[in-house]
Amino acid sequence: MNFEFMTIDTPLPPCMPFPRALTGFPVSSTAKVMYCRMLDAMLFRGQADENGILFVCFPITAIAAVLSRSLMTVKRSLNELETAGLIMRVRQGVGEPNRIYVLIPGKEGATLA
């Protein structure tokens, strides 16, 4: 196996953001990884709603494929994140993926104005 040690000049591979505050939230590891994946997607390809608030449309089947998890695990983790106040899902209509607003940990009272 080939190893490479890090130096001050070593470029990092692409990384996802992981807020430190997330470590203390009482959600599963899968939910934390899912949050980070959705935050990453929102930062790089998020859309703005009519109020200028960023959201991401991430169908459950796509999340399951990206995380290599079952649909039931994804649904359970989405519910965990919503209950913990880390995401807000807004229905778009039949056959349309929900808008998922990724909320910032530690921000109380986040609402869609």
Range of the domain at 86: 24-100
Higher pLDDT, 52 or 112: 52
Whole-angstrom Cα distance, residue 67 to residue 39? 14
CATH number at residue 88: 1.10.10.10
| Alpha helices, DSSP H, located in 1-113 | 29-45, 60-67, 71-83
In a domain, 57, yes or no: yes
Task: Count structural domains, the chain.
Answer: 1
Whether residue 112 has pLDDT greater than 50: no
Whether residue 108 has pLDDT greater than 80: no
In a domain, 4, yes or no: no
Q: What are the CA-CA distances from residue 73 to residues 16, 38, 51, 70, 100 (Å)?
A: 21, 16, 32, 5, 17
In a domain, 5, yes or no: no
In a domain, 13, yes or no: no
Band (12; pLDDT cuts 50, 70, 90): confident
Dump pLDDT digits (tens) for 30-88.
999 999 999 999 988 889 999 999 999 988 999 999 999 999 999 999 999 999 999 99
Whether residue 109 has pLDDT greater than 70: no
pTM for the full model? 0.81
In a domain, 36, yes or no: yes
Q: Tell me what the mean pLDDT of segment 85-102 comes to.
A: 91
